[in-house]
């Protein structure tokens, strides 16, 4: 096996999942994560289709099921909190749902004894030479690796260094999202309540056995000019967009000012012709972010890690062959998952009162519509748009 020393940037979902499989196939992964420690908590992410098979092959399906949110229905309400429509659990929560941080913790715990993790550092330079890569870091000393993999999310640093500026590959879908932890002041019991006004969606769902809740704000807008590092400015944007919105919005906005885990970003996709350049490859959101509107990002990250490690092993570590095969294997799956997000925006953030009425009417009538099954099966179809190869691992 050649090219054993693999540096992975990012310790959320794709990074630790890739480290898991690389180690099982006989590679020596090192994971560098910018955050000073594993980022716990966060919003709910879900699994559909093939990703569940991967979790099973990792022997982690039971652990993920044990930490699942077990979320129930989501109710769309009017400004007086009266139910308008109720959507079944699978619409928001897929086949299995877990908080992103809980998933990261499970993956980290499954890999920490055999994988070197470096927290609080970041790659600053990638210099490829004949038989390897010299990597420089913001804090640590330069090191030699055989391969570098970017698993560092939508705004991937490795992608910027090896492929070029983010704007060349990022496609904004015309929506922004903010999410953060709040008290469960509505007393929700494994359930969510969402309220809409044209072009704006406010929601809250309970988490961690109802001991807390996650508030989310979505709005449609053309590209906004803001500093991605300036949370105060981002909070002001959310305040301005939702100041005049009814229901529980003012309570949630007040909680936003105190929220320690405030998150704000555009709903964007990453579109690349190939997920590798030379000895550098990308996995998860860094390579093919599908946007939160798809509900498929976690599935893509878990499956992508499995396929990338498997193809490297199948090619005996020959990165050129493996990276080509990885891009080929993933392409159809990525396209299906990204397509899902493109159609979801208007349903989740209806742009006008007319659309809002149309959406609610559809949800209300859905149980009686002949094409109900077709609609409900769309996400599952995307989640299964890949046939997983077995990629046998050597016995431990």
Residues at the site binding ligand FAD, with contacts judged by CB under 6 A: 9-15, 32-35, 39, 43-46, 100, 122, 151-153, 157, 177, 179, 284-286, 292, 295-299, 301
Exposure string of 103-128, with b = 16+ CB inside 10 Å and e = fewer, is bbbbbbebbeeebebbeeebbeebeb
User: How open is the CA angle 376-379-380, to the nearest 5 degrees?
Assistant: 85
116/132 Cα distance (integer angstroms): 19
Name which of 146 and 285 has its Cβ closer to ligand FAD. Answer: 285
Measured from each CB, the residue nearest to ligand FAD is: 297
Q: How far is CA 69 from CA 29, 41, 54, in A?
A: 31, 12, 20
Shortest Cβ distance from residue 338 to ligand FAD (Å)? 12
213, 179 Cβ separation under 8 angstroms: no
Name which of 63 and 301 has its Cβ closer to ligand FAD. Answer: 301
What are the two backbone dihedrals, phi and then psi, of residue 197, each rounded to the nearest 5 degrees?
A: -125, 160
Name which of 3 and 298 has its Cβ closer to ligand FAD. Answer: 298
281/147 Cα distance (integer angstroms): 8
Name which of 153 and 317 has its Cβ closer to ligand FAD. Answer: 153
What are the two backbone dihedrals, phi and then psi, of residue 62, each rounded to the nearest 5 degrees?
A: -60, -45
Shortest Cβ distance from residue 369 to ligand FAD (Å)? 24
Shortest Cβ distance from residue 217 to ligand FAD (Å)? 10
161/210 Cα distance (integer angstroms): 42
Look-up: residue for tokens 């080929």?
328
Pair of tokens at residue 320: 């050129």
Shortest Cβ distance from residue 258 to ligand FAD (Å)? 19
Instruction: List the end-to-end C-alpha distance of the chain, in Å, as a whole number.
Output: 16
Shortest Cβ distance from residue 296 to ligand FAD (Å)? 5
Strand partners, 46: 97
Name which of 221 and 318 has its Cβ closer to ligand FAD. Answer: 221
Shortest Cβ distance from residue 12 to ligand FAD (Å)? 3
Name which of 148 and 321 has its Cβ closer to ligand FAD. Answer: 148
Shortest Cβ distance from residue 156 to ligand FAD (Å)? 7
Pair of tokens at residue 104: 């990261």
Strand partners, 201: 196, 218
Name which of 10 and 350 has its Cβ closer to ligand FAD. Answer: 10
In Å, how far from its chain's centre is CA 359?
25
Name which of 289 and 315 has its Cβ closer to ligand FAD. Answer: 289
What CA dihedral angle connects 177, 178, 184 and 189, to 10 degrees? 20
Shortest Cβ distance from residue 250 to ligand FAD (Å)? 22
218, 248 Cβ separation under 8 angstroms: no
């Amino acid at each position: 096996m050649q090219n054993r020393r693999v540096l992975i940037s990012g310790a959320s979902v794709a990074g630790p999942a890739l480290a898991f499989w690389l180690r099982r196939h006989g590679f020596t992964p090192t994971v560098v994560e910018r955050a000073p420690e594993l980022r716990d908590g966060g919003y709910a992410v879900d699994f559909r289709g093939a990703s569940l098979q991967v979790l099973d092959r990792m022997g982690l399906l039971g652990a993920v099921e044990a930490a699942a949110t077990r979320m129930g229905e989501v109710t769309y309400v009017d400004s007086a909190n009266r139910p308008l429509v109720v959507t079944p659990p699978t619409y928001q929560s897929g086949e299995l749902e877990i908080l992103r941080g809980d998933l990261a913790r499970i993956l980290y715990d499954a890999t920490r004894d055999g994988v070197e993790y470096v927290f609080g550092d970041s790659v600053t330079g990638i210099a490829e030479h004949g038989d390897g890569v010299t990597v420089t870091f913001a804090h640590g000393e330069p090191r030699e690796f055989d391969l570098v993999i970017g698993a560092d999310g939508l705004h991937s640093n490795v992608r910027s260094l090896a492929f070029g500026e983010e704007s060349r590959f990022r496609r904004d879908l015309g929506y922004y999202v903010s999410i953060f932890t709040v008290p469960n002041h509505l007393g929700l019991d494994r359930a969510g309540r969402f309220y809409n006004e044209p072009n704006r969606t406010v929601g809250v769902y309970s988490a961690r056995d109802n001991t807390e809740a996650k508030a989310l704000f979505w709005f449609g807008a053309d590209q906004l000019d803001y500093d991605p590092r300036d949370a105060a400015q981002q909070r002001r944007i959310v305040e301005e967009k939702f100041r005049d919105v009814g229901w529980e919005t003012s309570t949630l906005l007040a909680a936003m000012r105190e929220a320690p885990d405030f998150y704000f970003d555009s709903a964007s996709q990453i579109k690349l012709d190939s997920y590798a350049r030379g000895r550098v490859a990308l996995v998860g959101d860094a390579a093919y972010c599908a946007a939160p509107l798809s509900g498929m990002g976690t599935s893509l990250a878990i499956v992508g890690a499995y396929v990338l490690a498997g193809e490297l092993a199948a090619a005996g570590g020959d990165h050129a062959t493996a990276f080509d095969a990885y891009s080929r294997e993933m392409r159809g799956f990525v396209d299906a998952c990204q397509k899902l997000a493109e159609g979801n925006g208007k349903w989740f953030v209806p742009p006008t009162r007319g659309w809002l009425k149309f959406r609610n009417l559809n949800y209300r009538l859905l149980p009686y519509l002949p094409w109900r099954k077709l609609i409900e099966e769309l996400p599952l179809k995307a989640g299964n748009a890949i046939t997983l190869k077995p990629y046998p691992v050597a016995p431990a």
